[in-house]
Amino acid sequence: MDAVLRDTGTLSGPFRLQGLLVDPESGSLTGSNGTVRIEPRAAQVLVALARTPNQLVGRHVLLEEIWPGGEIYDDALTQCVYQLRQHLVQASGDEQLRKIIQTVPKRGYILQANLEPLVAAKGLAVGAADDRTGVAANQHKTRNLRLAVSALLLLSAVLGGWIWWTNLRSPMAGPPVSIAVLPFLPLMEVESDPVLEQGMADTLISRLSQVPGTVVRPISSVRYFSAPDRDPLVAGRELDVDSVVDGSLLLADGVLRVNVRLLRVTDGVALWSDSFEQPFTQIFSLQDTMAARIAEAMKTHLDPDAVEDRKSGTPSMDAYGLYLEGRYNLSLLSGNHLLIARERFDHALAIDPDYKEAWLGLANTLFRLPIVSEVAPLEHYPLAKQAAERALQLDPREAEAYAYLGWIAQWYEWDWQASEAHFLRGIELDPNETEVHFGYAHLLGVLGRKQEALVEIRRARELSPLYMNAAAIEGGMLNGLGRYQEAADGLEQVIRIDPDFWLTHQVLAEAYSSLGRSEEALEQLRMARALNDRSRVSSMAQIPELLRLGRRTEAEAILAEFLQSEQERYVHAYFIAGVCLDLGNLECAMNQLQRAVENRDPSLIFLPNQPRWNILQDRPEFLEILRLLNFPSRPGET
């Protein structure tokens, strides 16, 4: 028969469990590896099991005591047991302690362990971490005793609080504090909702970015740590942060259940943890609460003035859901996903025209589409600019919007001075915004300020270590400096982390080509094409390699296919011009360059930096194109 829980009073204070000190009041577990904080409900589960050690405690018994209401919380119990097993190993360093909580399928759990309740004497718990524990353990027995030791309690509380404060702050002392919010995991894998799980992290990232003196890793880096078996501390070390937010969630029958904790990366101590259960319609207040409590645990605070003055969020659940879908697809950075993202942002804005984050998402999507997909620049860049400007109307201090204006000024308007001014303004507003450093690095590279560009792109990668777009651009910059092997080595390492991002394969192909490894370059270009089937630029880039290998017929067939498809869809004339050049057809190359100017092809900005075009230097029409590009001077190393 399943054990029935009884409060025997023997576990009202701390107790020892297989050599570990368990303090239910503070929610801590202390062993040879240090102290681990336990989520409140997980601590309740451990205490419930510890009351009847080596006996079966039924699932229904645990649910009735800890989650009054029944089996709808069954998945949360499973998650608590999983977390307890992790905490036992983390505090002790002994993998075998995972096994002391045994599962009896369909019935419950057994805690197979030796327990030792700590004996109270004179109101002080023997073996407790500080004097307060013993007092708390006996408060229910006598009020007189509490009064008698009140002076001692006050002294120990002050001392203990000071020690806790010192220990909490020391690993993260000195500005700035860095933190990563990992994608939330599903409480039950079968109920996984990647859009909501990544979206919850993305929203918290936005909230915590308002904490003064804090660097928050963007979603572009943390999204790689969504595997159910991830180790949050390993993720924290790879992201080079002081602390990580690690959480799980379940949305069922309109109720959102969230477990979340803040872990210090140096030693795994849980600085804060909590569990929440709220209707999904209250998700916004839940996110605000979590952000405020995380900030408090970091011993800093959200700036109330910044929150009040800056337009943020939406009151519409429908708009928020569409926004999350848009952000998720945008993060994948392929042509098809960007098209989906645009549709979702458009729909969100139709519901709430004052939704700043959706305007930012739309600007981000629209400015990328002409690069990543085969869409007309004339139809997208003006809309991207309008979206960024609308975001600035809603929040004039939004650094991210200045980043997109900077991109548009260089890709589309060829206004180099305005582009640099936008990026510098964004950096001034938020020195930790990855996108402004990334865009500024790209601009510096285009202007020929290559060493400055390399410094800036590395700053972007420091802020977002796993931002694959920035990694690809850094590889391209190294190619431009003639450091092909260094570029290849770095890109190969990046591809091992994320083999599914098309641009890293394409830039690696450029490095291989310069190293004389044409067959390998072709393989990388084929992979890039397969990963981003909305763009055929990677196919066109195969032509020089085919020519080097003596496969001219194949190269001419690719060109013929592109020229034929011009009647059916937009094709980047700049790349066709390059193919014509490679095949020795200078008239074709010149005609396509002129079409590229008419279409405002963004890739034209690379024209002055690519020596291959020098063969056209004597042609007046080529010089006119250079004049239209409006460079302040002919780019060169400065």
Question: Was domain 177-302 assigned CATH 1.10.10.10?
Answer: no
Q: Report the amino acid identity of residue 133.
A: T
CB 23 within 8 A of CB 255: no
Same fold, 15-169 and 177-302: no
Q: What is the DSSP letter of 334?
A: S
pLDDT at 332: 87
Measured at the CA of 135, the angle between CA 130 and CA 137, to 5 degrees, comes to: 100
CB 187 within 8 A of CB 248: yes
Element (H, E) at 136: helix 131-138
pLDDT at 4: 41
Distance, CA of 633 to chain centre: 38
CB 247 within 8 A of CB 239: no
Distance, CA of 96 to chain centre: 33
Six token digits for residue 93: 């360093």
521-558 pLDDT, tens digit per residue, is: 999 999 998 888 767 788 888 988 998 899 999 888 88
CA distance 328 to 203: 12
Burial of 568 (C-beta count, 10 Å sphere; 0-12/13-18/19+): exposed
pLDDT at 613: 93
Count of positions (residues) in the chain: 638
16-54 pLDDT, tens digit per residue, is: 888 888 888 777 888 887 787 787 778 888 988 988 888
pLDDT at 335: 84
CA within 13 Å, CB half, 403 = 25
Q: Which long-range contacts (CB under 8 A, 24 or more apart) does 494-497 make?
A: 494/468, 497/224, 497/466
- Ranges of residues in the chain whose predicted pLDDT is under 50: 1-9, 70-73, 120-175, 303-309, 634-638
CB 30 within 8 A of CB 21: yes
Q: Report the amino acid identity of residue 532.
A: N
Element (H, E) at 321: helix 317-332
Per-domain residue ranges of the chain: 15-169, 177-302
Residue 236 to residues 222, 239, 502: CA-CA distances in angstroms? 9, 5, 26
The structure tokens 């700053």 sit at 459
Rg over alpha carbons for the chain, rounded to the nearest Å, is 29
- The highest-level CATH class for domain 15-169 is mainly alpha
pLDDT at 68: 66
The answer to pTM > 0.85 is: no
Q: What is the rounded end-to-end Cα distance, in angstroms, of the chain?
A: 81
pLDDT at 419: 96
Six token digits for residue 205: 């990232």
Q: Among 411, 351, 356, which residue's Cα sits nearest to residue 382?
A: 411
Q: Report the amino acid identity of residue 31.
A: G
